[in-house]
Each structure stands twice: as C-alpha cells, then as structure tokens.
Amino acid sequence: MKRVRHLSEEALNTLASQIGESFWDYPYADGEGGLKALIPSRQAMDEYMSSFVVAGMESGTLYCTDGGEGYILLTSSDGEHPGLKSILKMAKTMKHALGGWKQLSTFLKTANAGGEPLEKIMKKQKKPYVKVEMLIVTKEYQGQGYMRRLMGFAYAVAAKKNASVILDTDAKGKCDRYLHLGMKLERTRTAAGFPIYDLIREASDIPKKNTVLQADDPLHPLAVVGTNSWGSAAYGKVLRGSSVDESVIRQTVDTALQANLLIFDTAQDYGLGEGQKMIGRLCPEQALISSKFTPGKSYTPGQVRRSFEKDLQDFGRDFVDIYWLHLPNQIEENLSEMIALYKEGKVRNIGVSNFSLEECRTAKAILDRKNIPLYGVQNHYSLLAREWEKNGLTDWCRENGVQFWAWAVLEEGTLVPPKKNEKLSVMKLIFRNKRRKLAPLYRKMQEIGKVHGLTAAQVAMAFCSSKGLVPICGCRKPYQAQELAQAVSVTLSADEIRQLEQIADSLDIRILGADMFRFAVK
C-alpha cells in the first residue's frame, strides 16, 4: 500500500468517474436510492467524487495498492482528515456540482437527517476510530481480492491506533460485502427516505498484529486445509499413491496453524471415516472445524441431528464452527434441522455445498426467514472448471456477502505437472492421457510461477484466491501447508489470469466437472 499525493488529470477523472459510476449505476434494491437520490446528474456525481479524491490527496489520507488496483480514503479521530483549505475547496466544487450553496446546504442536512453519523457519536464518547470514507476497486480488478486487501489495510491502521474501524454505505448489497470482510452492522438510519447502513469493527475485535486477514478473522479465510486424504495407510496409497504416518499429519497440523491456516474441512466419508477421528486426535482447540451432513435422496426426521452427534463424538467437541449441507436434497427439511442446531449453539455457521445458483437462492431464503446468514457455498472450482463463475454463482456470492469455497482446485493432482518416476494415484492413472494434453497450460503456469516464486501447483491455488475465492487444498505433509499459505499470499495480475484462462479454454479439457455429484441429487 502507498499514499497517493498526486494523480494526473486523466487518472483523476477516470478514478472519479469509476467512483461515480459505482453509485450512479449501482443496482439498488427496492426502497434504496443511495447517494444517487441526492445528486442531480451523473456529471455532478463525478464532480463531487473528484473533489473527494483531491481532498484525500491534499490531506495525505488517500492510499492505493501498489499497482493502483484499488483506492481507500481513511480519516481518523486523532486528526488525520482533510484540512480547512481542502474542505473549502471540496465545498466549492460540491456547490458547483449541486447547483448552488442552498442546494449544498440541503444536501448536507438531508444526508444527516436520519440521525448522527457514527463518527460524531464516537467523538462525543471520546472513542478513537478510523473511518473508511471511500473504497473503490477499479473495474478491471474487481472480484480478485483487492477489496479484502484494502480493508485489511484499514484494520492494520486501526490496530496501531487501538481504534475501531467505522464506515457507512447506502445499499444492502454493499453492506453484505463489508460484513463478509469482518465488519458488523451497528444500525440502519435513513437519508432522503432511503436506508444508510452504519458498520463498525470494534477495536477489541482487531488484533494488534494484523499481518494476514485470516489470522484476524478466522472465519473469513484466504485458504482452508482439506482432509479428504487423511485416513489409513491403505486409503492413502489408493487415493494419493502413497501413505503418510499420523505423526507426519500431526506436524502438518502444527505447520498449518503457524501459517494461520486455521480451518480444517472434513466429512464423515473422508478417509473412510477415519479423517474426522484424526481431526479429533490431532487438532487443538484453536483449530476451527468445517464439517458436513451428506443427505441421501430420501428424508427421515432427525437424520441431521443423529449424524451431527456422531461428528461431535469424533471431534471431541460440543460444537462445530461451520456445518454444510453437502447436497441439495430435501433442502428445507435438512436446513430446518441445521437451524435448530444453530439456535442451540452447536452449529456456529451454516453453509451449502454442491448447490446450483437457484438452489443457493432457495437455501438463503430459508435461512433469511430465521435471520440466519448463509455463511458460504462450497463447490468444485478450478482453472479447468469455472462454470460457477460463468453462470453467475460466484458473482451472486459476492453480492450477498456469501463466501465461495473452491474444492479440488488441483483437479485431484491433474493440475500438477508430471514428474519422472512419480508415484501415481488412482486419479492420476485415470487422467494420465489428459495430463499429457495439458502441457501448454503447465508451461504457462510454470512461467507465471517463476515471476512470483511459486510452483505450477501454487499458481493454480493463487488463481482461485486472486479472484476472492477460498481454495480448499488437501495437506498431508508440512510442506503442503507451507505452500498453500505462500500461494494465497500472492495476487496474480489480471493479465496473468487472462492468459491462464485463455489457454485452459482453448484446451477444453474436463476432469471432474463442476457439478460432478448431480447424480446423487433427487
């Protein structure tokens, strides 16, 4: 991150226009109108935003990512805000944009008519704060994790000041994105008859060391440790081509936790039932558990609770951090049982897995009726399987503050370039011919990897995390946990992502398929 002190006229106009567009063309829900309702024209909106950016540059409160992919303007209670000269200049520009001083006065009164902003309340209470006045990710970089990085910077600044982070926004969709990144909704007020959402992250919720976001807010990870390959020696040899001793997996758990990979994802069938028991034996209290209920095609009342109680016995715990409905069978009946467990405090978050877009909407509507957020969607996604992106599911998740976890991002090892004399798992044997056809993609992955100090496999992981998706990667050995943590610390450029996608699309090779478990859905 770097402070922005100057922008060319062209760059300023482009940035102001993009900020203005994010308000003017935003798809507000019924009953919402946002800032657009108070500004007479799109040109006036751009002028208003331009004055905002200039004030941020002059006061040293405007920052951007190193490559200019995103911008954030931060003010604070300890004096970091535009000075009088900048404020007067901004007021003059706003007066011109709105059509006169009277219109500016009306604008300011209307904007605050629904109650005092949080910063005024906190000033009266003498509580320190850092306010996100503006956050924008430029068009070509949206959906690649830059909003997360910008908010991470705001948290880091606040941590140094022992201050809370506050912001307000004018749409539920925007509010949900901030909730997804660790903010909490404090209240909803009105301006010009439309809702304004005031959000806060209390100073006590922001760790003083704020180096990696998933360490600060474990339930918003950059990556997740998969345990599908944990199990008996025979299971490991068949599935992965080799077995790993439990003592090695214990070291892997320690390595993952040290790297701030805190969530371990499992299910009852992983390792033929042994995977969950290993989590109970090997994972300390600080580890978070993500588990699943896999429904069959018929429903029996109480089936979720019975399965869940077995999970708790395996884990040696009295609750699960995230509980997923693993298939979209009898959605309402199964979710109703999960909701009961949630209300009892035994399930802390509810997600769905292997759901289509319409099925996700159905699940969210069921949870919404009980005022329970849909935590996440866990589906297959990789460089070779991007259907959920193409059909709008990943965008829907972003718009609704729902995480998208991607499983099998390495396509069961198929996206790992072949090595001489390697031990082949069953999956690699099955897809041996397809791996030969992937040579052009392997070369591009290796080329991009050299730029970032990553292996080709790590590029496949970084491809997902660079889009704001959460890769779940199996880790049996310590180095695999280290490589996963390193991979998701890298953000690929838009051009690198485009090159990878172009080659993958040209090869048109299908491995697992995005919706491979549809056969198990009634």
Mean pLDDT of the chain: 87
How far is C-alpha 176 from the chain's CA centre?
A: 11
Residue 378 pLDDT greater than 90, yes or no = yes
Tokens in use for 428? 């690699």
Rounded CA gap, 365 and 494, in Å?
34
Output the pLDDT for position 208.
53
396 closest CA partner among 147, 30, 27: 27
Rounded CA gap, 484 and 227, in Å?
14
* Residue 48 backbone dihedrals phi, psi, to 5 degrees: -60, -45
Give 462 or 152, the one with higher predicted confidence: 462
- DSSP characters over 289-318: EEEEE---SS--TTHHHHHHHHHHHHHT-S
How far is C-alpha 69 from the chain's CA centre?
A: 17
Rounded CA gap, 19 and 484, in Å?
34
Confidence class of residue 3 from pLDDT cuts 50, 70 and 90?
confident
Half-sphere exposure (Cβ direction) of 413: Cα atoms closer than 13 Å = 19
Rounded CA gap, 323 and 102, in Å?
55
What angle, rounded to 10 degrees, do the helices at 42-59 and 84-98 form?
180
Rounded CA gap, 492 and 85, in Å?
40
Confidence class of residue 223 from pLDDT cuts 50, 70 and 90?
very high
Tokens in use for 210? 């704020």
Residue 211 pLDDT greater than 80, yes or no = no
Which string of b and e fits 153-187 if b means at least 16 CB within 10 Å?
A: bbbbbbbebebbbbbbbbbbbbbbbbbbbbbeebe
Segment 264-286 shows an average pLDDT of 92
| Cβ atoms 490, 459 nearer than 8 A | no
Look at the pTM and tell me if it is higher than 0.75: no
Confidence class of residue 424 from pLDDT cuts 50, 70 and 90?
low
| Cβ atoms 288, 323 nearer than 8 A | no
Output the pLDDT for position 45.
82
Q: Which amino acid makes up residue 304? A: V
Fold of 213-520: TIM Barrel (3.20.20)
Residue 109 pLDDT greater than 70, yes or no = no
Residue 190 pLDDT greater than 70, yes or no = yes
* Per-residue pLDDT reduced to its tens digit, 149-173: 888 889 888 887 889 999 988 888 8
Tokens in use for 130? 């850092």
Q: Does domain 2-205 have CATH number 3.40.630.30?
A: yes
| Cβ atoms 19, 136 nearer than 8 A | yes
Residue 345 pLDDT greater than 70, yes or no = yes
Least confident of 44-48, 121-125, 385-389, 506-510: 44-48
User: Ranked by mean pLDDT, which of 125-139, 255-269, 298-312 comes out on top?
Assistant: 298-312
Quick one: 68 exposed, middle or buried, by C-beta within 10 A (0-12, 13-18, 19+)? middle
Segment 428-438 shows an average pLDDT of 81
Tokens in use for 444? 């591009």
Segment 309-328 shows an average pLDDT of 96
Output the pLDDT for position 153.
86
Confidence class of residue 215 from pLDDT cuts 50, 70 and 90?
very low
Helix (H, G, I), strand (E, B) or coil at 178: helix
* Per-residue pLDDT reduced to its tens digit, 55-79: 888 888 899 887 788 899 999 887 7
Segment 142-149 shows an average pLDDT of 76
Helix (H, G, I), strand (E, B) or coil at 379: strand
* Per-residue pLDDT reduced to its tens digit, 167-177: 988 888 888 88
User: Ranked by mean pLDDT, which of 10-24, 236-250, 419-433, 491-505 comes out on top?
Assistant: 491-505
- DSSP characters over 218-244: TTS-S-EEE-TT-S-HHHHHHHHSS--
Segment 453-458 shows an average pLDDT of 94
Residue 281 pLDDT greater than 60, yes or no = yes
With a pLDDT cut of 90, the percent of the chain lying above it is 49
Q: Residues spanned by CATH 3.40.630.30 within the chain? A: 2-205
Give 357 or 220, the one with higher predicted confidence: 357
Least confident of 87-91, 268-272, 341-345: 87-91
What distances in angstroms separate CA 94 from CA 60, 82, 289, one per listed residue?
20, 15, 51
How wide is the angle at C-alpha 504 spanned by C-alphas 501 and 509, nearest 5°?
A: 150
Output the pLDDT for position 38.
67
Q: Residues spanned by CATH 3.20.20.100 within the chain? A: 213-520
Rounded CA gap, 219 and 224, in Å?
10
| Cβ atoms 273, 294 nearer than 8 A | no
